A and B are shown apart, each in its own frame.
Chain A
Amino acid sequence: MAFFPGCLVLQRMPQYEKAARRVLKELGIVLESIPRAACCGAPLESFTDEWLYLAAYNLALAEGMELDVLTLCGNCTNTLLRAKAALTDPSLCLAVNERLHEIDLHFDGATTVRHLIHVLSERLEVLREKVGAELSLKVALTHPCQAFRPHEILGFDDPLQPQVMRRIVELTGAEVIAYEAEYDCCGSTLYLADEELGLEAGERKLESAAEADVLVDACGNCQLLLERFQGLMKGRAPEERLPVLTLPQLLGLAMGMAPAELGIGSMMASKLQGSLA
């Protein structure tokens, strides 16, 4: 598949990309980088309709590779798929292609976009075969909002209480705990508008999940707020920090891969050590 990392993962989370590539390879899926891929277009949408040009540009690059797109971020998935839907309008599509033709590209709408969770959910059997270790961990899940909503565009799983991530993680033998804020948003995009409110949203989520050994996410935005910004949250002392892993990092551990192969640092690895069988 054509791999679309998005700005956050590309710039700040090579560990997430590394683990995703490693785990998908094990499942027989090779990710090819999309040369010259740009931002999905999401940050433009609040200001200008030109967000569609950037989204269509990325989709046109993947079309040229004759591959469907795999994403690691809810926001990119949502934006690219909404753009594709909007461009079924012939006049919009024409306008977009006028610009794309200037750089020798063309958008047809031939390629589709799937988030990692969606792709994994279609390969549960092969995933089951590959998982060797039984993880004796209590896992709390955070579901990437925009990979599931709006349902009319994303089109899979329960849009308000998604279940497939649970089914994927349960294959590892880990205990997936239910917690009150499980289906609440992490607050990452809110952080852009109001840092304090965004951190408060994240803090509530982490507090609600405190019983878990590790929180597992599958989105650059969730990872940014819940993992990278956890230290900025007022109410969270360093000793209370909840370890946060991305979904492919957890799956890779269950497949018997070494933490370093999955971009899991030695500190995180030692925190989890006691729980890994």
Chain B
Amino acid sequence: MTGGGLNALLEGCTQCGLCREVCIVERLGAHSITSFLCGEEDYSSWLCSSCWRCQEACPQGVDIHAIMMEMRRDEEAPAGHEANLVSVLRSGYALAMSEEINETRRIHGLEPVELVPAEWVHALLRG
């Protein structure tokens, strides 16, 4: 997706540290992709709240999100992310969804919804 890979994506980064300054994970004392960008070795590309503040703050316009996505594919995923992946591949939804959803909707006065057929999900996401 990203063409030239990680090195090309990192080209503009001057390690100024602005991304790390605005990162919520860093403020909580943990280390995110922004620590990696600052040359540190203690970080996880999965420790992120997807707030996009680092990328918005970057004066060089570095695509930090794309860097993170590249790196995640080489690092073991946390169980929460893995569970969502498995659920989407199986059913088309991140949370297990069944026709019972329409009973809940009826109680709340909402019209029933039609869920995605599982065979369509498998056709779309077959690898």
Chain A residues with CB under 8 Å of chain B are: 7-8, 10-12, 14-15, 17-18, 21, 33, 35-39, 41-50, 53-54, 57, 75, 78, 86, 99-100, 102-103, 145-146, 149-151, 159-160, 184-195, 197-198, 200-201, 204, 263
Interface residue range, chain B: 35 or more
A149–B53 CB distance below 8 A: yes
Given A14-B105, A39-B94, A46-B69, are A194 and B52 neighbors across the interface (CB < 8 Å)? no
Chain A nearest Cβ from B121, distance in angstroms: 7
In the complex, are the beta carbons of A38 and B47 less than 8 A apart? no
A193 and B88 within 8 A (CB): no
Determine how close the nearest CB of chain A comes to the CB of B107; give it in whole angstroms: 8
User: Which of B1, B101, B117, B124 makes the CB contact (< 8 A) with A54?
Assistant: B124
CB proximity to A under 8 Å, residues B93-127 = 93-95, 97, 101, 104-105, 108-111, 113-117, 120-121, 123-125, 127
Residues of B within 8 A of A (CB): 1, 24-25, 27-28, 30, 44, 46-53, 55-57, 65, 69, 72-73, 77-78, 80-81, 84-85, 87-89, 92-95, 97, 101, 104-105, 108-111, 113-117, 120-121, 123-125, 127
- Nearest residue (CB) in B for A102 is B123
Give Cα distance in the complex from A194 to B46, angstroms. Answer: 9
Contact (Cβ within 8 A) B69 A37: no
- A13's nearest neighbour on chain B, judged by CB, is B108
By the criterion CB–CB under 8 Å, are A263 and B56 in contact? no
Q: Please give 7 more A-B residue pairs, beta carbons under 8 A apart, in addition to A43-B85, A145-B52, A149-B53.
A: A8-B95, A17-B108, A35-B113, A149-B56, A193-B46, A194-B78, A197-B30
Q: Are A99 and B123 in contact (CB under 8 A)?
A: yes
Known: A8-B95, A46-B69, A263-B108. A38 touches B50 (CB 8 A): no
Contact, CB under 8 Å: A38 / B92: yes
